[in-house]
Each structure stands twice: as structure tokens, then as C-alpha cells.
Amino acid sequence: MKTDFRCVNKREARIDAAEKVTGKVKFAADLNFGSQMYAQTVYSRFPHAKIMNIDTGAAEAMQGVVMVMTAKDIPGPNLLFGRFPVLAEEEVKYIGDGVAVVAAESMDIAKEAADLVKVTYREIKESVFSLEDALKEGAPLVHEDEKGNIIENTHYRMRAGDVEKGFAEADVVLERRYWTHFVDQAYIEPEAVIALPDSYRVGVEIHGSIQNPYSIQQNVADILGMKINRVKVIQSTIGGSFGGKDESVMLMAARTAVMAMKTGRPVKMVLTREESFLESCKRHPHLMHYKIGAKKDGTITAVEDRIDVQGGAYNNKAMFLNWRGSVHAAGTYYIPNVKTDVYGVYTHTIYGGAYRGFSAPQIVFGNESLIDELAYELGITPKEIRLKNCLKPGDELATGQILEPGKIPAPLTEMIEDVCLRVDFDGKWIRYQEENRSDNHIKRGIGLSCTFRGTGLGGEGIDTAGATVTIIKDGSVIIQSGLTEMGQGMRTAHAQVVAEVLGISLGRITFLNTDTTAVMDGGPTVASRGLLAGGNAMLIAADKLKKRIHSEAAQALGCKPENLESRNDLIFKKDDESVSITFEEMVRKCIFQQGLSLSAQGWHNPGPEKLSHETGRGNCYPSYIYGVCAAEVTVDTETGKVDVERITAAYEVGRAINPQIVESQMYGGMLQGMGFCIMEELKEEEGYLKTLNYDNYLIPGIGDMPEIEVILYESDDNVGPFGAKGVGEISVELPAPAIANAVFHGTGRRVRDLPLNLERVLLGKAL
Ligand code: MOS
């Protein structure tokens, strides 16, 4: 394995750390433009109602109000991607629908005027608020043209072998139902967007806490009835997103852009935390029906599952998310016979969207609970069943793809054994069971979970990405990417890639905020692809410049370009390091003596994956990353309270470009995974969202952090820069099933619905 790196694979400090910790950096809500107005959305009062009339008169008459916008003011079609209206016109379909927006001279005036907008509704009682309701025969339809409330283009299948034959060969067949709930991404910074008329031409400029600037750009252009080149989107420094700042900021950008174009003034919209809870996407609830068969010796013979995914009132993610779900539904095991069907479903509720993991945390909770249940049924340990069936080098996935040794690593066996050894799984497995026989109401348990995750978009789309690297005459460097920083550390990782290629120090590099006019659209920053695809684009751009510089340096140093190396801000002869020239001097020569451009674009294009969306068969992802974890819990059987004491997890990540950032990703993700499992719960009643702030939406804080040990496995994979594979999401997947499995080990109570709240743990079954 390659280890000879200068900047990559090192624990460098984040390049944007100082400006953030000193408070110098401006977030979107901190930005202000001259003559700016403040906008307040008027939200629906019902989860499902006809809009009979909107009377804006009183609001418009108020001093300081500049404009009250309704759907009628939208120049283009009132339709954003995923069937979201910019503002509801005839009907509200969920409690977060906007019906009007007020723009005023101050926020106070805007809020006061919003209360004066009189909307007359006729409530519609025929509604569907849960997956079960929506799927009932003859259920009321959320969108009249969608049969059975199944969302268009969201049914994905996976077919391998013959499940009937597989179940016939089994000695044990289990059927189980699991359910996961809506959870919020809980980013520190609520959404903020400012739209202003372009100062120099007809068009609009948008700044905001935006995860995916290019999709905002396109959606805003559509609803303005403009070409995309009239819309410029600049990502502000962003305080977390985790997939979440997408649909809500799309709505905000569309509303403020319309008002900015109509009034000729900047319009600023900042959500309160309550509005963010109400209007932003959540993790999609998954209702999972699994059937699994195995032989007495533990060999799994077949898995069949149907998974229904709650989309909510609108949907712009399930058509991507469900594909990932269908590839991973059978879990991280070699199973010859698989039949999977995943569907997206509309409901009159808050809606599902991207949240770190993108279906995997839900599905891994289902299939890793299932594997545990199967082990108990067979009388073998959770470790044994996993070791027996886990994917091994050369195995075929349900998709038909082979984990070819030397191409795609498959180190699960080693990882399971390593984690189990470190935590003394075998010892604790027996010891806790013996101790738990006492009368003590505090029980201890240990549980395992495994996962694997396709890298990047795979068959979801083409994993393209763009980057620009510009070396300036003083030897400083600007890098720009079409992908965005959200707090994950991408800027630093990209800079490390560029520094490694150019052989320069990290301090030379500055990373500009993503701007849709600077780099070509290579797709969104999702699917843990910021470094995988975006880093490859950086590598390509930096490599072009290195070649350009080396060909000039070869003349200066009197050798061939291939005999040169760049390192420590120097360019020198490989066979005689005393012959060298500084990076800065070479830059000056290239620019001033040769007139060369030291700016280069990098474009990464792996091409489409070869697969069939009909059967799910094919090479769904270029590679996979792997995780194994053990969770240790104590459970108070009198109160139902679960305390996670310790999580030990191993991850195979290809190359850790910055091991410290990778570890941070794992700690943070595992804490989110723990919150998903035992703490976070959005309460809804008949379509009304009751949980709107952190007073009753409990997320883990630092005090709840268990002891966490992360073990990184590295390999020379071939998909990302220097073998990196993308680590943003996998960490969220493991805790929920490992904790639920540990709770079962400790108490004999199997909880199949999330979260494992006090009631569910006390009763030991789904409520
Ligand atoms: Mo992400 S959950 O792929 O934005």
C-alpha cells in the first residue's frame, strides 16, 4: 500500500478553521445589502385544505410593506422539482405549505403584516397521514394523477436467483416488520437566503445557506421563466446541512428571487428554528417488511422484502434514494436469492428528503435487526451469523456485481473479528447474559452491526465533477469546486489533494465559496461524493498545472520533465536533488517569461455505470466502503432508559486524505446515528407537526457522547483521489441496529420501531 505522502494522509488543520473559530466568517444571515427588504412566509393553517380566497389588502396597506406575493406573481410555472409549488395556489397539501410572502422594510413589519394576510380555507378531511393510510385500497390521493399514492419513478427492484427456491431450501424462515421515523438534520444554522437583482445585467443573484447551488440555480431560472445564465448562485459559509438545506432553500430562493425581480430590491429571508422544522425535509420514514430464510448451519438462502418510503406531500428525492435502498436492502451478506421492491409514497405530511445516509440508516436498521433475530432463532451468536454470511472477496452481490479481489476490497471478515476482539465480544456475550439473570433492574447488553455502502452516485447518475485551480503570480493558489463545503472538511481535503500534486504547502491555498458562474455544474454535493468526485476533479486540474510547470522547469534545470519532482515548494531533479528551483520562481517564469496560463479546469467523468434499472442488475457502484460496529448499552428495565456506554467501530475508507477529519466524520455521524436510535422523535398528530424546536426535539449533546473508538482500515482503492472513497455518510448507519441489538441482548426486548423511547423499551415491542 502506498504510504509516501507529503500532505495527503496527514492530520492537517482545517484550512477554514481559524476564520470560523474567530467568528470572522459571515454566514448568510449575517449578510446585508443596501435597500434590502425582509421577507416572511405565510404558512398553511391546515395539513390539507382548499384555498378559497387570499385577501392581501390589509397587509399591503400596512406602512412599511412593499409587496405581498402570492402564486399569481410567479412569472414562470409555479412548479419546482419534485412537484413543490413555490406557493400553494388552490390547495395546501401539508402543514408547511406557503401561501403568501410579505416583503417589508423590517422583519418586525413583515411578521406583523404576515398575520394580516387573510386566507380562507375549506378543510379537507379526506387525508392520509401515514404510510399505512396512504397505501390502503381507495385511500384519498395526495396528487390526483398518482395511482395509489405511489410516487412516480420511485419503484425500484432487485432480483437475484429465485426466492421461492431459496425459501424451500431453508430450515428457518422469519418474517419481520420494521419501521423508522421522521428525524430532522438539526444543523446549527437555520436556513437563510438573500436574492437581489443582478447589479450589471438582467438577472438575479442569490446568496444563501445552500447545499446544492446548481439545482437552486436551475429551479429559480425555471420559475422566473429565464435561462439559467441569468441566475447566479453563491454559497455562503454554511452551518451544517447533512442533506437538509435543499428543498427549503429552493423554496426560499424561488420566493425571494420573484420578489427581488418585481421590486428591484434585495430580499432577505431567514427561517426561525420553528419554520425550519416545519418547512425543511426530514429523513424518510421506512416501513420494511422482510422475509429471510436460512439453513440450520446459519447459511442464508433467501431474502425478500418490500420497503415503503414516506415521501410526504411532495418529493424530490425518493426517485434517487430508493435506488440506493434497493441495492443495499439485502444487507452486507452473500445471499443467492433476493427479491426487493422499494416504493415511495405520498402523504399529507411533512416531506422526506436527503439526510446523511440517504436511506441506508433506515435500511441497515431493518436488515441488521433481522440478521440478529435470525441468529437467535438459529441458536448461533450474532458474530457467527455475520462471519458466516458476510460479503467476502470474490462474492457476487445481489446486483450481479462481483467484488473482484484487487479491484474492490471486501474486508468484512477481518473487520468483524477485529472489532469483536477489541471489545471482547465473546466474553461479554456470555458474561452479560449471566449477570442479567440477577434481580438488578439495570441490564447490560452488547450488539453488533455491519454495513457496506456504494461509493458516490453510482447508477443514480453520472458522478461528474468540476474544479478550477489557479496559481497566482506570487505563488498563492485559488481553488474552486462545483461541490460545496458544509462543515464536513471538504475544502481542506481538496486543498490537501492539490498541495500533494503540486508539491506545495497547504498555506498557499485558499478555497473560494462555490459560485455557479465559476465552475461548470458537475452535480450536487451528495452521496459522500465531495471528495470522491470533487477531489478527482481537483487532482486533474492540479495535474495539468504541474505538467505545464514541469515542462518549463525541465528547460530551466536542463533535464526531461519526467525526471522532475515537486515537493516542499521546490521543483527538483529526481536523481540530483541539489538541482532545484523554487515553486514561486517557476511560477513567475511561466507567467512573465512564457505567458502561460496557470489556471486549469479539472473535469472528472467516470462515465455511466452499466446496469439495468428494471432488474437492478449490474455494476451499481464503482466500489464500496465498509463498516462494523459494536455497541455496549445499559438499560434500566424499570424506566426503559437506554444508555449507550461505548461504541467501537471499524471503517474501510480507501485512503483517509485527512485521518483527523475522517475520525471527526465518524464521531459526529455515530452520534447522529445514536440520536436517531434512542432520542430524536418528531411528533405529528393528524398532519400537524408538534415538535418544532429543541425543547422537545432532543438531540445528543456532548454530554450524551458515549466512549467511541474508531479504527480506520485503508486500501489503495482506485476510485477517488489517492484512493479516497468518501466517508460522509456511512457512520450514521451502524449505531441504530447495534444499539437495538444490544438492548435485546441485555433485556430480551426486541424493538422494531424507532426510536427506542422509554415506552417501546419498557413494553419491548412496537407500539
Ligand atoms: Mo446527501 S443525504 O446524499 O445530501
Q: Is 353 in the pocket of ligand 1 (CB under 6 A)?
A: no
Grid coordinates of 681: 422523535
Measured distance CA(327)–CA(397) in Å, rounded: 9
Q: What is the pLDDT of residues 240-279, one digit of tens each?
A: 999 999 999 999 999 999 999 999 999 999 999 999 999 9
Q: Where are the beta strands (DSSP E) in 236-299?
A: 267-270, 282-283, 286-294
User: For the chain, what is the mean pLDDT?
Assistant: 97
Beta strands 204-208 and 192-197, pairing class: antiparallel
Express each pLDDT in 288-335 by its tens digit. 999 999 999 999 999 999 999 999 999 999 999 999 999 999 999 999
Distance of CA 92 to the CA centre of its chain: 28
598 has pLDDT over 90: yes
C-alpha cell at 665: 466524520
Q: How far apart, in whole angstroms, are the C-alpha atoms of residue 159 and residue 613?
A: 11
Tell me whether the CATH fold assigned to 31-125+197-271 matches the one assigned to 282-458+612-763: no
Mean pLDDT check: name the lowest of 423-427, 658-662, 727-731, 763-767: 763-767
Closest of 477, 142, 70, 552 to residue 311, by C-alpha: 142
Helices and strands (H, E) in the chain, number of each type: 19, 30
Architecture of the domain made up of 17-25+463-604: 2-Layer Sandwich (3.30)
- How far is 174 from 181, CA to CA, in rounded Å? 23
Q: Look at residues 668, 738, 734, 677 and name the one whose alpha carbon lies nearest to residue 702.
A: 668
Task: Assign residue 697 a region (left: φ > 0; alpha: ψ between -120 and 50; beta: otherwise).
Answer: beta
Distance in angstroms (rounded) separating the CA atoms of residues 34 and 32: 7
Q: Is the CB of 483 under 6 A from ligand 1?
A: no
CA of 453 to the centre of ligand 1 (A): 13
- State yes or no: pLDDT of 767 exceeds 50: no
Give the rounded percent of residues in the chain with a pLDDT score beyond 70: 100
329-360 pLDDT, tens per residue?
Answer: 999 999 999 999 999 999 999 999 999 999 99
Report CA(56)–ligand 1 centroid distance (Å).
38
- In the three-class reduction of DSSP (H, G, I as helix; E, B as strand; rest coil), residue 69 is classed as strand
| pLDDT score, position 610 | 83
Q: Under a CB-based contact definition with an 8 Å cutoff, are residues 42 and 117 in contact?
A: yes
Ligand 1 pocket test: pick from 526, 529, 531, 621 the residue with the most ligand atoms within 8 Å of its Cβ.
526
Q: What percent of the chain has pLDDT over 90?
A: 96
Grid coordinates representing 190 are 437555520
The type of residue at 762 is L
In CATH terms, 282-458+612-763 corresponds, of 3.30.470.20, 2.60.120.200, 3.30.365.10, 3.30.70.270, to: 3.30.365.10
Residue 358 C-alpha to ligand 1 middle, in angstroms?
6
Instruction: Report pLDDT for 609.
Output: 82
Pocket flag, ligand 1, residue 243 (CB < 6 Å): yes
**CB neighbourhood size of 199 (10 A):** 8
463 Cα: distance to centroid of ligand 1 (angstroms): 14
Report the nearest atom of ligand 1 relative to the CA of 243: 4
The Å distance, Cα 728 to ligand 1 centre, comes to 9
526 lines ligand 1 (CB under 6 A): yes
Contacts of 658 (CB under 8 A, 6+ apart): 9, 10, 11, 12, 489, 492, 493, 496
The DSSP secondary-structure symbol of 723 reads G
User: Residues 152, 158, 160, CA angle at the centre, nearest 5°?
Assistant: 160
Answer positive or negative: Cα dihedral of 365, 463, 657, 187.
negative
pLDDT exceeds 70 at position 495: yes
CATH topology of domain 31-125+197-271: Aldehyde Oxidoreductase; domain 3 (3.90.1170)
Using DSSP's 3-state secondary structure scheme, residue 352 falls into strand
Whole-number pLDDT of residue 718: 82
Question: Is the Cβ–Cβ distance between 223 and 258 less than 8 Å?
Answer: yes
Q: Whose CA is nearest to atom 4 of ligand 1?
A: 243
Q: Write the pLDDT tens digit of every residue in 20-35.
A: 999 999 999 999 999 9
584: its cell numbers: 514561486
Residue 132's pLDDT is 97
> What is residue 3's predicted lDDT score, i.e. its pLDDT?
83
- Please give the distance, rounded to the nearest whole angstrom, from the Cα atom of residue 526 to the centre of ligand 1: 4
Q: With 0-12 CB in 10 A as exposed, 13-18 as middle and 19+ as buried, what is 567?
A: middle
- Residue found under cell 458537475: 522
Q: pLDDT at position 766, please?
A: 43
Using CB atoms within 10 A of its CB, is residue 105 exposed (0-12), middle (13-18) or buried (19+)? Answer: middle
Q: What is the pLDDT of residue 671?
A: 98
Grid cell of 156 as nine digits? 425500484
In this model, does residue 385 exceed pLDDT 70? yes
Which H helix or E strand runs over 342? strand 337-346
Residue 501 to residue 503: CA distance in whole angstroms: 6
Tell me which of 358, 460, 529 to substitute to probe ligand 1's pocket, judged by most ligand atoms within 8 Å of the beta carbon: 358
> What atom of ligand 1 comes closest to residue 729's alpha carbon?
2
Torsion sign across C-alpha atoms 720, 724, 729, 732: positive
What pLDDT was estimated at residue 765? Answer: 57
Ligand 1 centroid – CA 317 distance (Å): 9
Residues 730, 672: Cα–Cα separation, whole Å? 11
Distance CA 43, CA 53 (A): 14
Measured in Å, residue 189 CA sits from the centre of ligand 1 at 17
Give residue-wise pLDDT tens across range 102-143. Answer: 999 999 999 999 999 999 999 999 999 999 999 999 999 999
**CB hemisphere CA count around 337 (13 angstroms):** 19
338 grid coordinates: 433476493
User: How is the chain split into domains, by residue range?
Assistant: 17-25+463-604, 31-125+197-271, 282-458+612-763
Cβ contact 613:323 at 8 Å: yes
Residue 1 confidence (pLDDT): 81
Q: Is residue 54 predicted with pLDDT exceeding 50? A: yes
